[in-house]
Chain A
């Protein structure tokens, strides 16, 4: 996927001017937040469960090597194959090699961010294979030639009328005068078309929410059931997952599942939670003949032992972006790569380099709402700050900001000089503003006054007046 994070400011401008996007983002602000709050409030032990989920993942990450080996052993014992991929290219090549080994033509796909990360669809097409997204949201954006703008609601930026337009444009074999007013009719239409694709696909690719070391099982959580059809009906099931998806046991998985859907959509559980262990066994009524797991690193192992290790706890619930006022304002595409919102602002620099994505950890007010809802208690603002430190150390931040900051710090570290300068500066500013009490423009303050007035200082500083008061002179 093309990296557009360096053009973040331009992306923001375009997003703000995009009326349809702004209309769609209104739904994010109103929908997810109340649902999560209700779900959390209904469960007295919710906060304790968050602690437990955090501890489980921390433990798994501390012993990741052992659990990965145990996992591979179990997958192999159940008749599956584990393929280790260092980077995106290796992962793509493994998937296409498996597809070619069974002469595949079409590949159905369950919703997966990791296949976005490795750019799988384009690669499959270049190799003569047809990828078909089967999650409704993914299907819609595949038709539109877009990437997901949200990690659990990929088409959250698309309005219903736009979906209707797209379906009419693409599904030309259906009657032109059909009624698509009701959202359900759109769903039925997509379902009808996808049903046929499920039955004819040669390979099904899914991601995984968890990989269980104890049993060699991959777990997906979905609401549409498309993931199940993707992994059960074709001859071959390929799981593409990054290595931090490991959890030690089935019990651990059950614990984390209790916070996942509640944090994501406010459901107690997602509609489908599906466990897959190996290929079809002789007595199984259905299932794939081959079961492969592509275990992707792509930079994650180098986050271990660093300030960014905590990010590997992320279970991709999307709560951070659902609650982020910056995400609400600009939508997911503005972030310019696969992962948007607060989790993207921390993860993206780890995966593609902070030199490419420096805006992301900076475009935050540190309001802390993301951390307050993260089921895994990932200190997202703290880690964004770590990235800002890296940028500052490498002198990647803008020269004007560094210079301004330097001058300010020089003064801030010299209280006497600072107070003298301010006791002159503030009355001058107050005089400049005159009787209005505010300034519509001010040299060097364009970033502020472009959109709002600058309230004027009252006059003498507090410290000036305090000293005069202590000395008994009238203020």
Chain B
């Protein structure tokens, strides 16, 4: 019997802090796909807040810390297109002037994947053993979509969830206005953007909003709640793993 391959879970700071259940859903999906999942303890955040604020020195320090903790695994998987994009696309950019670290960052980057695209494109998962009774709509988070090409994979797997009906919202590929620190630096612009997004979500007629990035989900769920909309928000991993017993994001519990 072939040795099972080891996946290191980069859980992401938002899942770690705000919604651990997404982390456990991720572990289940990876284990179901036949991988051994480990969670290196030397992980905090991918460093995007520093990198996107122009603080490359701190971003580099954090990148080194992540690379050291994760580079020995066969795969590094994150339930976020944004964080996976940082690890995969931007870590190598951080070391343009450090030959040795650049090579390490590139070797590391080759093994980094966003969760759902990993399941479909690398692990060859064709279907999931989950059911969900309801209509969902899926928001394409920007980094996952445009940096990593995550678009068809979540839809393909959602299609195999028993009882689930997917109804597309208009402009599902348009930014929700989260943008990390952007949403608190420019709250008025962010608000207008998330307002257009919730309008599209409501118009889709779906009862549940899904996405692959918790940052976007906190933003959209927070806005839906503020507007008093009866729409639930969940990470796509929760539905794919059949772990929807927990209260939805921002929902009473």
The chain A residues found within 8 Å of chain B, CB to CB, are 9, 12-13, 16, 325-326, 329-330, 362-369, 371-372, 382, 385, 387-393, 397, 401, 405, 408-409, 411-413, 415, 418-419, 422, 426, 435-438, 440, 445, 447-448, 450-463, 465-467
Contacts and interface: CB of A to CB of B under 8 A. Distances in A.
12 contacts: A12-B186, A326-B189, A362-B185, A369-B142, A385-B52, A388-B54, A392-B55, A415-B41, A448-B187, A451-B188, A451-B194, A462-B15
Main SS at interface, chain B: helix
Closest 10 CB pairs of A and B: A365-B179, A447-B184, A392-B54, A388-B54, A452-B222, A462-B20, A367-B175, A455-B250, A451-B191, A462-B23
Q: Which of A12, A13, A435, A447 has the most CB of B within 10 A?
A: A447
B219 A452 contact: yes
Contact of B49 (A364, A405, A418, A437): A405
A453 B44 contact: no
B54 A390 contact: yes
A106 B93 CA distance: 53
B6 interface: no
Contact of A450 (B15, B93, B187): B187
A95 B39 CA distance: 67
B189 A458 contact: no
B183 A447 contact: yes
B52 A366 contact: yes
Consensus secondary structure, chain A interface:
helix
Nearest to A412: B44
B246 interface: yes
A438 B189 contact: no
Contacts of A325: 174-175, 177, 193, 196
A364 B182 contact: yes
B218 A455 contact: yes
A450 to B, nearest CB: 5
Contact of A453 (B54, B93, B179, B250): B250
Contact of B187 (A419, A451, A454, A465): A451
B24 to A, nearest CB: 8
Contacts of A364: 179, 182
B62 interface: yes
B221 to A, nearest CB: 5
B70 to A, nearest CB: 12
A437 B62 CA distance: 31
A461 B223 contact: no
A392 B54 CA distance: 5
A452 B146 CA distance: 26
Contacts of A390: 54
Interface string B225-253: 11000000000000000000011011111
B61 to A, nearest CB: 5
B160 interface: no
A452 B55 contact: no
Given A367-B142, A452-B219, A466 B250 contact: no
A426 B249 CA distance: 15
Contacts of B253: 435, 437
B186 A363 contact: yes
A205 B9 CA distance: 61
A447 B185 contact: yes
A426 B189 contact: no
A458 B20 CA distance: 7
Contact of B221 (A16, A401, A435, A455): A455
B45 A365 contact: no
B17 interface: yes
Given A12-B188, A405-B55, A461-B16, A452 B194 contact: yes
A408 B187 CA distance: 20
B17 A422 contact: yes
A327 to B, nearest CB: 10
A93 B103 CA distance: 53
A426 B20 CA distance: 11
Interface string B54-82: 11101001100100000000000000000
A440 B225 CA distance: 10
B192 A438 contact: no
Given A368-B142, A369-B146, A401-B181, A460 B54 contact: no
Given A366-B52, A368-B146, A437 B247 contact: yes
Contact of A389 (B11, B44, B56, B173): B56
Contacts of A435: 252-253
Contact of B190 (A411, A451, A460, A461): A451
B113 to A, nearest CB: 19
A415 B43 contact: yes
B19 interface: yes
B222 A460 contact: no
B175 A365 contact: yes
A326 B61 CA distance: 31
Interface string B118-149: 00000000000000000000000011001100
Nearest to A392: B54
Contacts of B175: 325, 365, 367, 369
Given A326-B189, A385-B52, A450-B187, A367 B146 contact: yes
B145 to A, nearest CB: 8
B202 interface: no
A449 to B, nearest CB: 8
A458 B188 contact: no
Contact of A463 (B19, B41, B177, B193): B41
Given A325-B196, A437-B252, A460-B20, 6 more contacts: A12-B186, A362-B185, A440-B226, A451-B191, A461-B17, A466-B39
Nearest to A451: B191
A379 to B, nearest CB: 10
A393 B20 contact: no
B42 A415 contact: yes
Contact of B147 (A368, A387, A436): A368
Contacts of B147: 368
Contacts of A401: 53, 181, 185
A459 B253 CA distance: 12
A457 B89 CA distance: 29
B227 to A, nearest CB: 9
A427 B223 CA distance: 23
Contacts of B24: 462, 465
B26 to A, nearest CB: 9
A53 to B, nearest CB: 20
B160 to A, nearest CB: 26
B177 A413 contact: no
Given A325-B193, A437-B252, A458 B15 contact: no
